[in-house]
Chain A
Amino acid sequence: MQNDHRSDEAHVIQLPAPTAWPMILALGVSLILAGMVTHLVVGLLGLVLTVAGGLGWFFQVLPHEAHESVAVRTEEVQIVSRRTLSEREALAVTHRKILPVETFHITTGIKGGIAGGIAMTIPAALFSILRYHSIWYAMNLLAAGGFISWAGASDAFLSEFHLQGFLAALAIHGLTSLLVGLLYGAMLPMFPRYPILTAGFISPLLFTGILHSALNILSPILNQRIDWFWFVLSQIAFGLVCGFVVNLQVKVRTPQFQALPFAIRAGIHSDLTERTYDEARHSDERDSPK
C-alpha cells in the first residue's frame, strides 16, 4: 500500500463531557438496597446520593448536553496497492470462488412442500384403509405426536374422526411439509446430478432413518405403532413429487451473479461451470508468477 500526500485539514470534534453523576447515582441506588441488609443510615445515605446523582445527571443533559471539544488534524492521502496485477483471460479473472450464481426462489420450496404434502397423504390413506378400514387412522397417529396420551390409545379410538386430531395433524403435516419443501428448494441446486435419486429416494430414506432412531427415544410407544414400510412409501411419494415440482421451477440469479465478468453475464461466453478441470489448471499455471 502506498500513500500519496494531498492536503492537511483541522477541525473540532464534540465529545460528551466527563461526569461523576452516573457513578454517584449507581452508588446511591446500591446503598439504598444495601441499607435493607445493613443499617437504616446506609439506606438514607443511599437516598441522598440517589437524589443528588439524579439531579446532577439531569442538569448535565438539560437544557443543553455538556460537551468538550477536541481539536483534530487530519491529512488526506491517496492509497494505491503495491500488488502487481496480471491481466488474465476473461474466464480467469474471477479468482474468488463464486457459488452459487443461480438458485431457486424461496416460493419454489413452498410450492414443492405443498405438492409433496398432498402426495404423501395418498399412501398414508391407503395404509389406513387397507390395514384399519378407516381413513382417519394415519391422521390420528400423526396427531399423537402432539397429544402424548394418544400414543397409547386403542386402534378403535384412532380409527375414529376427532376434530382436534384433524386440526393437530393438519398443523403438524402442513408445517413439516413446508419446512422440508424449503429444505428441498435450498438443497437441490447443491446436488444437480441424479435429482430423482437424490430427492426421491436418498433424502426420504435419510429422513426416515433419523426419525426412526429419534422416535425410539422420544416416544417408544408411538414408534411401535408406526408401520415403517408404509412410512417409507409415503416419504418417497413426498420426495418424488416435491423434487419434481421444485425442479420444474425457473432458477433466479443470486447477487453473486453480478460478480461474474460481463461476457458471461451477457451470454457471450459460456458459464464458469462449463470450464473443464484442464482448462482451469492451464489457466492457473499461466497466471502464476514465475
Chain B
Amino acid sequence: MATQTPVTAILDKTPASPPRRLLFQVLHDWLTTLDHKKIGLMYIVYALIFLVIGGLEAVLMRIQLAIPNNHFVSPETFNRLFTMHGTTMVFFVGMPILFGFGNYLIPLMIGARDMAFPRLNAFSFWISAFGGTLLYFSYVGGSGLYGAGSAPDVGWFAYAPLTAHVFSPGHSTDYWTLAVLLSGVGTVGTAVNIVATTLCMRCPGMKLSRMPLLVWLYLITSFMVFVTISPLTAAQIMLMLDRYVGSHFFDTQAGGSAVLWMHFFWIFGHPEVYILVLPAFAFANEIIPVFSRKAIFGYPAMAAASVCIGFISLSVWAHHMFTVGMGPGANTFFTLSTMIISVPTGIKIFNWLATLWGGKIQFTTAMLFAIGFLFQFLIAGLTGIMLSVSPFNWQLSASYFVIAHFHYVLVGAILFMIFSAFYYWYPKITGRMLNERLGKWHFWLFLIGFHLTFDFMHIPGLLGMPRRVYTYEADRGWMMWNMIVSSGAIVQTAGTLLFVFNMVRSYFKGAIAGADPWDAWTLEWSTTSPPPEYNFAVTPSVASRRPLWDLKHPEDPDGNYE
C-alpha cells in the first residue's frame, strides 16, 4: 500500500437562511438583486420566455408553408412572423441565455464571489429585458398610438432600402432598431463584466493556463462582442438618423449606399454566429470530459483554436454578400477566410473525439445532447464550407438551403448544447436532479424532430424554394418536403414541452442532487446546490485545471501532469 498525503478542505457549515414567504419579499429580492446567480437565472428565464414566443412564431410559419397555396396567415403577418422570429431568437434568446449561463457559472468556476461590477451586471440584464419588451410592444404600439404599421416586417437583417420611411412607414422599423440598440447596450455591459471578472477575480492558483475552458471561451466571446456590437449600434443610429433627421447614409437615390448597411450588419452578423456558438463549445468542453471520465484532450490547443476562431470570424462577414457583386478579389478573399475557419473548428472537433476516445462514456441526457451536437455541428460546418464557395453560393443564396444550414448551426449545435447545459447544471442551480427518463424522451423526440425538419429543409432549397416566400404553387414539387419539415417542427415542439414539464416537475419533485452529483472536477461543484449567495465560505485555491479531482484524489493530483 502506498502512503497518501491528506488534503485540507473547508466545509461550509453556515445554516441556510429561511426562504422568503411573501410575494412582495420575493419580488423585492429579485428586482434589487446584484447576485450574479440570480441575474444569470433572470437572463435564462427571460430567454426561455422569448424562446417559447419565437418557437410559436416558427410553428405558425411552418403551418403556413406546410401545403401549397395556403392562407393560414396573411402575407403581412407572415413578414412580421419571420422578422420577429429571427430577431427574437438571435437577440432575445441566444444572447441572453448564453450570457445567463455565463453570469451564473463564471464566478463559481473561477472561485470568485460575484462579477467584477455587480451593479453594471444588473443594469445590463434589465436594459436587455426592456429591449425585448419594447420589441414586442410594437404589436400594440406600432399601430395603437400612431395608426400606421405594426410589428417590424423588414427581416432580421433589415436590408436598406426596405427600412427607408417610404417603404416602411409608421414606427415598426423604429421599434426594431431601438430594441436591438438597447439589447446591444446590455450585451456590451455584460461583456465588460465578463472580461473584468475573468482577468481580475480568479482565485489564488488559477492561472490563465488552469482556467476552465468554459471561462476561456466566454472571455473570447466577450472580446468579440466589443468588436462586433459597435458597428451594429453605429448602423442603428445611422438608420435612425436616416428615418428621423433626413440623412442619407443608406439612401441610394441620394448618394447613400445600401451595401454599406450590409457591411455594417454582417460585420456584426457573422461573428454573432460565433458569439453564439462559442458558449455552446464552452458547455461541450465541460460536459464531454466529465461524462467520458477523462480530462479534456489538448487543453492548450482548444484554447488556442478558440482564439483563432475569434480572430478569423471577424474576417468572413462578406460571404453573406457574394450575390451583391463585390468582384473576384473580395469573393476569393472571403471564400478563403471562410474555409480557413474550418481549421480551428476542426481542431476542436478532433479534440472532443479524442476526449471521448478510450473514455468510460456515461450516456446521461446531458451527454446524449452533447454527442448530438458533435455530429450535427460537423454537418452544419460541411454545408457551411459548401456555401463559402462563391459560385455555389450564387446558386443557393437566399434559398431554403441557407435556412437549413444556419438552423443546423443554431438548433443542431447551439440549442442542443443549451439543452445539454440545462441537464448538466440544473442540479447545481436548483439542488434537484432533472428526471433522466423524461430527459431521454426529450432527447430522442427532439433529435427526430430536428432531423425531420432541418435535414429535409435542404432539399426544397436545392430545388429553388426561396427563403421568406409566403406560399407556393402546387406544381413546384416542394409540397412533400415542406410537409415533412413542418411535421418535424411539431415533433420538436412536443419534445420541448416535455422538457418544460420536466423542469417544472423536477423543481418540486426531483431527487435531491447534492453538491456534486456528476463527480465533476470544476469549482462550481465544490459548493452546495444551490450555492449560497457568497458562493464559497472561504476563497478556494487551486493547483491544476481540475481542482476537485485533486481534492478527491490527493494521491494522484492533476498538477503532476500539466
Cα separation A22 to B141 with both chains bound (whole Å): 26
State whether the Cβ of B154 lies closer than 8 Å to any Cβ in chain A: no
A39 sits at the interface (CB 8 A): yes
**CB–CB B533/A15 < 8 A:** yes
In the complex, A60 has a CB within 8 A of chain B: yes
Which residues of the other chain, B, contact A36 by a CB distance below 8 angstroms? Answer: 174, 178, 240, 244
* Assembled-state Cα–Cα distance A255/B332 (Å): 41
Pick from B45-53, B211-219, B477-485, B551-559 the stretch touching chain A: B551-559
Whether a CB of chain A sits under 8 angstroms from the CB of B319 is no
Residue contact B332 to A37, C-beta cutoff 8 Å: no
Q: Which of B137, B182, B391, B534 contacts A29 (CB 8 A)?
A: B182
Q: Which of A70-78, A130-138, A163-171 contacts B (4 or more CB under 8 A)?
A: A70-78
Q: How many cross-chain pairs have Cβ atoms below 8 Å apart between A and B? A: 162
The answer to the question of A38 belonging to the interface, with a C-beta cut-off of 8 Å to chain B, is yes
A80 contacts B4, C-beta separation under 8 Å: yes
- Interface residues in A199-241 by Cβ distance below 8 A to B read 214, 217-219
Task: Decide: A29 and B33 in contact? CB cutoff 8 A.
Answer: no
Q: How far is the CB of B229 from chain A (nearest CB, A)?
A: 16
From B133, B537, B553, name the one whose CB has the most chain A CB atoms within 10 angstroms. Answer: B537
Cα separation A19 to B34 with both chains bound (whole Å): 7
Residue of B nearest to A87 (CB): B2
A23 to B389, CA, bound (A): 47
Distance, CA A29 to CA B186, complexed state (A): 11
| B145 A13 Cβ-Cβ under 8 A | no
Kindly state whether residue B22 has any CB partner on chain A within 8 Å.
no
Which listed residue (B7, B33, B335) contacts A79, Cβ 8 A?
B7
**One of B9-17, B82-90, B97-105, B370-378 contacting the partner:** B9-17
Q: How far is the CB of A145 from chain B (nearest CB, A)?
A: 9
A13 to chain B, nearest CB (A): 5
Given A26-B126, A218-B335, are A85 and B174 also a contact pair (CB < 8 Å)?
no
Instruction: Return the chain B residue nearest A8 by Cβ.
Output: B13
Stretch at the interface among B112-120, B196-204, B254-262: B112-120
Kindly state the interface size class of chain A when it binds its partner: 35 or more
B350 CB within 8 Å of chain A = no
Q: Are B1 and A87 neighbours in the complex by a CB distance under 8 Å?
A: yes
In the complex, which residues of chain B have a beta carbon less than 8 angstroms from the beta carbon of A148?
327-329, 332
Smallest Cβ-Cβ distance to A222: which chain B residue: B332
Q: Is A197 an interface residue (CB 8 A)?
A: no
Residues of B with C-beta under 8 A to A96: 561
Q: Are B178 and A18 interface neighbours, CB within 8 A? A: no
Give Cα A76 to B7, complex, Å. 10
CB under 8 Å from chain A, chain B span 536-552: 537-538, 551-552
Q: Which of B1, B553, B561 contacts A256 (CB 8 A)?
A: B561
Chain B residue with Cβ nearest A151: B328
CB–CB A22/B6 < 8 A: no
Residues of A within 8 Å of B122, CB to CB, are 19, 22-23
Q: Verify if B280 is at the interface (C-beta below 8 Å from A).
A: no
* Cα A23 to Cα B555 with chains together (Å): 49
- Is residue A128 contacting chain B, with contact meaning CB distance below 8 A? no
What is the minimal beta-carbon distance from B374 to any residue of chain A, in angstroms?
A: 22
B293: shortest Cβ distance to chain A, in Å? Answer: 13
Q: How far is the CA of A96 from the CA of B14 in the complex (A)?
A: 39
Contact A77 B8 (CB under 8 A): yes
Mark interface residues in A61-103 (1 if CB within 8 Å of B CB, else 0): 1000000001111111111110111110000000010100000
Contact of B119 among A57, A73, A81 (CB under 8 A): A57
Residues of A within 8 A of B10 (CB): 74-77
Return chain B residues, CB-CB under 8 Å to A16.
Answer: 34, 114, 118-119
Q: Mark B31-71, 1 if CB is under 8 A from A, else 0.
A: 11111000000000000000000000000000000000000
Shortest distance between the CB of A8 and any CB in chain B (Å):
7
Q: Are B8 and A83 in contact (CB under 8 A)?
A: no
Check B181 for interface membership: any CB of A closer than 8 A: yes
In the complex, how many angstroms separate the beta carbon of B469 from the nearest chain A beta carbon?
29
CA–CA, A86 to B10, complex, Å? Answer: 29
Question: Does B475 have its Cβ within 8 Å of any Cβ on chain A?
Answer: no
Apart from A8-B13, A22-B119, A79-B9, what 12 extra A-B contacts exist at CB < 8 Å? A15-B35, A15-B113, A16-B114, A20-B32, A26-B127, A29-B182, A33-B182, A38-B145, A73-B12, A73-B14, A80-B6, A83-B553
A-B contact list, 13 entries, CB within 8 Å: A4-B6, A15-B114, A15-B534, A18-B34, A20-B31, A21-B119, A29-B182, A72-B537, A73-B12, A73-B537, A76-B10, A78-B6, A81-B552
